[in-house]
Amino acid sequence: MPEATSGRRPYMVGNWKMHKTVAEAREFLQELLSSLGDAGDDVDVGVCPPYIALAATVEELDGTGVGVFAQNMSAARDGAETGEVSAPMLLELGVRGVVLGHSERRRDQCETDRSLCEKVPAALDAGLEPILCVGESEEERDEGEMERRLRHQIQEGLQQVPAERLAEVTIAYEPVWAIGTGRSASPEQAQEAIAFLRALLGDRSSEAAERVRILYGGSIKPDNAADILGQPDVDGALVGGASTDASDFAELVAAAAG
């Protein structure tokens, strides 16, 4: 990984999506910790369990340095929001951060750029580290609309974040067509899109653009990771399917360690 040249520490985050009960999470984490060895020393590592397994995951990972992330949260601190979870609730459990704007939530749960405009600063203000997901659909890419789509998502999602706090947000570039399809972006496509995102951030703050970590996500596996992670602007990955297998995820962390 390019930490030596970029100064950015590699970052590997596993998004379990709606996988693993509490008992399965505990068993998986034991296996992951023994598989990780010292690969985690040079890489920031995080996992994103379903809400119900957050507390057990925090407990299992206590003292290991592996961070725990929720997969969504409400922008409100509390209120009449049936089925929602707030930042103070996550913080109370010892959660480090939260994934926001995943394309599955945009597609299936009506998550909008408007709501992310509130959620990202709400997470930061509460002391949670946001991972903001962006990415174009296949149709948008084919029609030459990728840059317009990414620009819109970044502008809205980060609109209320002051320039001096931009680098506290992690961005995940997840092209929708690569998620769960087995068809990852090529290393060149990942680099091109992530460099574009970094340039967009540079319009707000050149210092933040240098510091912000931008991850790739979409069908990343042990056999394609090294080439994608070796790109100069790719700082790590948000991993779906392969993060639910302890030895695959440990291998991915080792690939990021270089």
**Separation of first and last alpha carbons in the chain:** 5
Active site residue 102: yes
Q: Which residues contact 32 (CB under 8 A, 6 or more apart)?
A: 47, 66, 246, 249, 250
What is each CA distance from 28 to 8, 11, 33, 232, 252, in whole angstroms?
29, 20, 9, 32, 16
Residue 88 or residue 243: which is nearer to ligand 13P going by CB?
243
Shortest Å distance, C-beta 232 to ligand 13P: 22
List 21, 180, 206, 223, residue binding ligand 13P (CB under 6 A): 180
Active site residue 152: no
**Contact between 217 and ligand 13P (CB under 6 A)?**
yes
- Give the x-and-dash track for 218-247 against ligand 13P (CB under 6 A): xxx-----------------xxxxx-----
Cβ pair 213, 235 in contact under 8 A:
yes
Q: Single out the catalytic residue among 60, 102, 111, 251.
A: 102
Cβ pair 215, 193 in contact under 8 A:
no
**Contact between 130 and ligand 13P (CB under 6 A)?**
no
Q: Single out the catalytic residue among 60, 156, 174, 251.
A: 174
Shortest Å distance, C-beta 231 to ligand 13P: 17
Residue 202 or residue 222: which is nearer to ligand 13P going by CB?
222
DSSP letters of 148-166? HHHHHHHHHHHTTS-GGGG
Contact set with ligand 13P (CB under 6 A): 15, 102, 174, 179-180, 217-220, 238-242
